[in-house]
Structure 1
Amino acid sequence: MPEPFRLVMPAPIYLPAYRAALEAGWSPDTVLGNLATQRELDRIDRDAMAFLLSLDDPKAKGPPVLMRDGTPRPRLPGYRRWMWDGEFCGSISLRWQEGTAAMPDYCPGHIGFSVVPWKRGHGYAAQALGALLPEARGRGLPHVDLTTNIDNDAARRTIERCGGILVDHVEKDAGDGGGSAARYRIMLG
C-alpha cells in the first residue's frame, strides 16, 4: 500500500532516492537544470551530511549562491523540503528576506518547485505548494511570489490552482541567462 503524500525534511533515509532522481536526469532547479544536478551530485559525493544540513538554512549561514554564469549572490534564509509518497517525488523550497516580503532582483520568487517526470500528473506540486503556504504565513509573509517560464503551462496551472494571480512579467537575472518569466502572487492573509 502506497504511503500518503507528504513533505519531508531532507534526511539520510531519503538521500538514496534523491540521488537516484538526480542520476536519472531530474533537476531540483528549473533555472539551472543540468548544472544544478551536477552541483548537487558533487556536493553529495564530497560530504552527504553537510549537503543535507545545507538544505535547511533559515539563518542564511551558508556560502553565497552561484548563478548559472558563476556569479555569486548573497544567500537568502530558506529551506528545502522533499516530496514523498513512499518514493521520492520532487522538491520544493521557500526563501525570504527578514523583515520584508520583497525579494532581490536575482531571486524574484519565494517558492520554487520541481516534480520528477515519473511522478507528474498526480497533483503533487499543488499539494506541496499548499502545504508550504502556512509555513510562509508563519514566517510573517503577507504573500509569496513565484516565477515560471512563460511557456511552462503545468507550473502556471499549479500556481493558479493554489490561488496565484499573474502580477507581471520579469526579466530573469543575467547570471541565470536572462529571459522573461511570469511572476505570480499568492496572498497569505
Structure 2
Amino acid sequence: MSEIKANELNESMEGIDLLEYCFYHKFLLVEELVLQKNFLKLHHGRCTVIGKLNQHQNGYPVLENINLSSILPRACNLPEGTVNLRLFKFVTTDVELKIGQYCEVCGEVVLWNPNSSRDNWLSMTPRGALELELTNCDKTNRNQMLEGLHRTYLPAINIFKIDYIDCAVELIQRHLKIRLLTSNHKSDK
C-alpha cells in the first residue's frame, strides 16, 4: 500500500478501534454472529461454531442455531433453526456436507452479499470490508457507512474443517463453561 493511501486510511480510521485478527478458533454461537448489528464488534478471524447443517431454500449450505433451552434461560434461547449462517468452501473443496447433521465448523468469519452473487467469489473479512469502506468515507459519514455495510453484507463462515457430532448441546455447554471460567480468570487479575 502506498504511503499516501496508508495515511488516508489512518486518518479515516481515527477514533475507530478495529478488532485484531483472531488466529485461534474461538468458540462462538451461531446467534452471536448472526445477531451482531455492529461490524466493529463482529468477530474477526478464526472461530468454531456448532449447529445443524442444512440447505437454504436457494440451495446454498447453512449452519442453523440449535435449541439450547436445556442450558440457557428462556429469554436467551431461540428455537432451533431460527437463525443461520451461510457456509462457504473457499479453501476446502473436499469437505463433505451432510445435510441434517449436527456439526462443529472450524473456519473464518467472512461477509457475503445476499443480493449480489458477484460479490461472493472472494472472501471478505469484516475488518477488510471496514477498511475498504473507511478509505472512501469521511468522519462525518461513518455511521451511515456502517449502517450501509450492515444492510449490504451478512456474516458467514469460510469452512476449514467440519466434525460431525452426536451431542451438540452438551458440547456447546462445555464450550460455554470454559468461556465462563476463562473470563472469570481474566477478571480476577
TM more than 0.5? no
Structure with more contact order per residue of length (Cα contacts < 8 Å, sep ≥ 6): 2
Q: Which has the larger radius of gyration?
A: 2
